[in-house]
Amino acid sequence: MNVARGGGAADPAAAKAQLDASFRKIKKPKIDLIQVHNLGDVPTQLKLLKDLKAQGRVRYFGVTTTSSNQYNDLIRNMKAEPLDFIGVNYAIDDRDVEQTILPLARDRKIAVLAYAPFGRTRLFRRVQGQSLPGWAAELDAKTWAQFFLKFVAAKEIRRRMEAQRSPMAKYSPIARCRPTPTSDRNASDAQVETS
């Protein structure tokens, strides 16, 4: 749901029309999840979603952002609103949400949709031609895609990587990847340490 383009105010009538169109398109009386995209005029759009949830027409609602410069607004909304879901970027080299947002989501019982777990494909370029760490087989990760997804979903990979900070470098080039600065996430992949 995004009727607040350019950071401006959403037109409640346009937002309602967008929701009505969604119900017509899917031909179902109830939608499982609707989210306010990129925190677009959250008060206006969440009011509509809360009403639909109260009517039993929407099962869950939430908000999304893929921009770290909106994380403070996201945190405020997570604390102030009864959100069921949030959507944020999260990948092995894009971990900004780990310090505050993920713990807050856990504490408030807000489900998290992890966007761009492959770093919009940059992670595949960073490991091209490299083998998985040997212990990935213990986690049933047979491909880099499985490894990256399991990192997002499983504490075990994160625990192992943290436990093997310096020895990890000998296992995998991805362990030597520094998180990419937020401003460079869609730019080059020159953030891999080679020493």
pLDDT for the residue numbered 138? 85
Residue 89: strand pairing partners: 115
What letter would DSSP give residue 134?
G
Instruction: Indicate the average pLDDT of the chain.
Output: 80
71-80 and 101-108 helices cross at what angle (nearest 10)?
10
**Euclidean distance between CA atoms 137 and 12, whole angstroms:** 51
The dihedral region occupied by 109, where left means phi > 0, alpha psi between -120 and 50, and beta the remainder, is left
pTM of the model as a whole: 0.75
pLDDT for the residue numbered 14? 85
| SS3 at position 31 | strand
**Euclidean distance between CA atoms 175 and 183, whole angstroms:** 21
Kindly report the CATH number that applies to the domain delimited by 1-116: 3.20.20.100
Where along the chain do its domains lie? 1-116, 118-195
Q: Is 148 exposed, middle or buried (0-12, 13-18, 19+ CB in 10 A)?
A: buried
pLDDT digit string, tens, across residues 43-68:
999 999 999 999 999 999 999 998 99
Segments of the chain scoring below 50 in pLDDT: 3-4, 6, 166-195
